[in-house]
């Protein structure tokens, strides 16, 4: 069988980019290559989890005629944040300590349309036979004191490299659009250092009240969608 030699033919060309270069923090400067390799592995683990979530979204969108996932955001924790967290916990500032003790160096945030989508996606991800769920924190059913809501999972996923396989942990946060909106604004506002203690307390109370309103709205939207589905409109 003869392959088509035309580079613009049936087989499309895809450019493969090298991973971004990570700045090596001063406290880990004795092992720069080891640090960069570790960051590369976390980046690859994120890619594996993201692909799984994209496949789930595609499958559910065909089955249900709608996309449960609105968007995904990914990040590898900044070196200064890694060091600060290790120091705050009284742990050694080493690459081995980071990989052993920190579960959130690699992170994927999944933004869903409805609350029940959160639980569907988390359940389906957990049931995949190459995913190990290490920990779950359900801040939707048990919100934080400040009103924060989200569903957090620490998962461990195998990643295959050129000469080895590594099981790498990734934090997956799943929330609704409204929860993500609230969390983003809360994060910005809590760093307004010029506030007096009285103003800061008032802001916290207002944010907590907004979080309650958002939660009630999220559940009402689920009820509305289900009523529409029951009538066969969706």
How many residues does the structure list for the chain?
A: 234
Alpha-carbon distance 186 to 101, whole Å? 27
Active site residue 171: yes
Structure confidence by residue, pLDDT tens digits, 144-161: 999 999 999 999 999 999
User: Around 207, how many Cα atoms within 13 Å sit in the side-chain half-sphere?
Assistant: 24
What is the reported pLDDT for 9?
47
Task: Report H helices in the chain.
Answer: 32-64, 79-88, 95-101, 115-126, 177-189, 197-230
Report pLDDT for 32.
Answer: 86
Percent of the chain with pLDDT over 70: 88
Averaged pLDDT, 179-190: 88
What is the rounded average pLDDT for all residues in the chain? 88
Question: Are 48 and 159 within 8 A, CB to CB?
Answer: yes
Nearest to 153 by CA among 131, 137, 169, 165: 137
More confident residue, 80 or 232: 80
pLDDT of the residue at 20: 58
Given 171, 186, 202, 204, the catalytic residue: 171
Query: What digits encode the pLDDT tens for the residues 20-74?
Result: 566 777 777 777 889 999 999 999 999 999 999 999 999 999 988 889 999 999 9
Going from the C-alpha of 21 to that of each of 24, 38, 40, 76, 92, the distances in angstroms are 9, 12, 9, 12, 24
Backbone angles phi, psi at 46, to 5 degrees: -60, -45
68: tokens are: 């449960």
Record the pTM.
Answer: 0.85
pLDDT above 90 for 138:
yes
pLDDT of residue 207: 92
């Amino acid at each position: 069988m003869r392959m088509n030699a035309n580079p613009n033919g049936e087989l499309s060309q895809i450019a493969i980019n090298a991973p971004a270069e990570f700045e090596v923090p001063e406290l880990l400067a004795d092992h720069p290559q080891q640090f960069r390799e570790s960051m590369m592995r976390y980046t690859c683990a994120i890619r594996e989890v993201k692909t799984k979530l994209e496949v789930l979204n595609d499958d559910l969108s065909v089955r249900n005629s709608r996309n449960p996932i609105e968007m995904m955001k990914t990040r590898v924790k900044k070196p200064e944040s890694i060091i600060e967290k290790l120091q705050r916990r009284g742990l050694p500032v080493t690459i081995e300590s980071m990989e052993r003790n920190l579960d959130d160096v690699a992170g994927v945030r999944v933004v869903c349309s409805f609350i029940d989508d959160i639980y569907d996606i988390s359940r389906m991800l957990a049931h995949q036979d190459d995913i190990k769920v290490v920990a779950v924190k359900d801040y939707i059913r048990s919100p934080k004191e400040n009103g924060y809501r989200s569903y957090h999972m620490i998962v461990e996923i195998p990643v295959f490299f050129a000469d080895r396989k590594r099981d790498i942990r990734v934090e997956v946060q799943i929330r609704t659009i409204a929860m993500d909106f609230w969390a983003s604004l809360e994060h910005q506002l809590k760093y307004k250092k010029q506030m007096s203690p009285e103003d800061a307390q008032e802001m916290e109370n207002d944010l907590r009240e907004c979080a309650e309103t958002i939660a009630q709205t999220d559940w009402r939207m689920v009820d509305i969608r289900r009523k529409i589905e029951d009538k066969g409109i969706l």
